[in-house]
Amino acid sequence: MNLILLGAPGAGKGTQAERLCKELNIPTISTGNILRAAIKNGTPTGLKAKSFMDAGKLVPDEVIIDIITEKLAEDDCKNGFILDGVPRTIAQAEAMEKAGIKIDAVVSIEIADSEIMERMSGRRVCENCGASYHLVAVPPKTSGVCDSCGGKLVQRKDDAPETVKARLEVYHKETEPLKDFYAKRGLLKPVENQPAVAETTQAILHTLGR
């Protein structure tokens, strides 16, 4: 199963991707996590991406296309993958098609902007492994500590309210047209966000026929 998760920033793509990857036993590729790791490690890609990310803007398509084609060529992606946060523009989706990357389904998590603004203030991520939590909805077992690796949980710089607003604007303008793009290919499966994280996972698995 080659799956794309679409949705606004804060829709819960990262959280759902982590859960789906256990259910479906395929890896998740999150361009956001890859870019944050690149920034932390001070790589050339990280240096290129940082100013865009801090401002809530999209990183240039060519940087993303290089990351994704390299990653998908790795052995652990041979039996399927979940793409979290990519593609985010029509150009990225077209480049993936051109590279022969086959997609089986595109799940779009639907949620109102107002709910996202509320949610983002409680989001925390592990600075070590990138796992995501929410102070209320998905709290870690020990406050401030990642369940999976023991890393420190921090608030993302781009989760500040003004940056979230900018990211939502970018989403509606640049990423939402992908719904049409994939609907035309018969791949789009919209899923309404549910009050509980597990319910949204169930709704996604249901729409995928699992």
Residues forming contacts to ligand AMP in the complex (CB under 6 A) are 9, 31-32, 35, 52-53, 56-59, 64, 85-88, 92, 158, 167
Minimum distance, C-beta of residue 75 to ligand AMP, in the bound complex (Å)? 23
Nearest to ligand AMP of 24, 93 (CB atom): 93
Strands (DSSP E) contained in the chain are 2-7, 28-30, 81-84, 105-110, 123-126, 132-134, 153-154, 188-192
* Residues noted as catalytic: 13, 88, 123, 156, 167
Minimum distance, C-beta of residue 209 to ligand AMP, in the bound complex (Å)? 26
Nearest to ligand AMP of 60, 144 (CB atom): 60
Minimum distance, C-beta of residue 60 to ligand AMP, in the bound complex (Å)? 8
Classify residue 180 by burial, with Cβ atoms within 10 Å: 0-12, 13-18, 19+. Answer: exposed
**Which positions ≥6 away from 81 have C-beta within 8 Å?**
2, 3, 26, 27, 28, 29, 72
Minimum distance, C-beta of residue 1 to ligand AMP, in the bound complex (Å)? 20
Nearest to ligand AMP of 91, 208 (CB atom): 91
Other beta carbons within 10 angstroms of residue 71's beta carbon come to: 17
Nearest to ligand AMP of 9, 191 (CB atom): 9
Per the CB < 8 A criterion, the answer to whether 3 and 20 are in contact is yes
DSSP SS3 for 110? strand
In the complex, residue closest to ligand AMP by CB: 32
DSSP helix, strand, coil percent of the chain (3-state; round to 5): 50, 20, 35
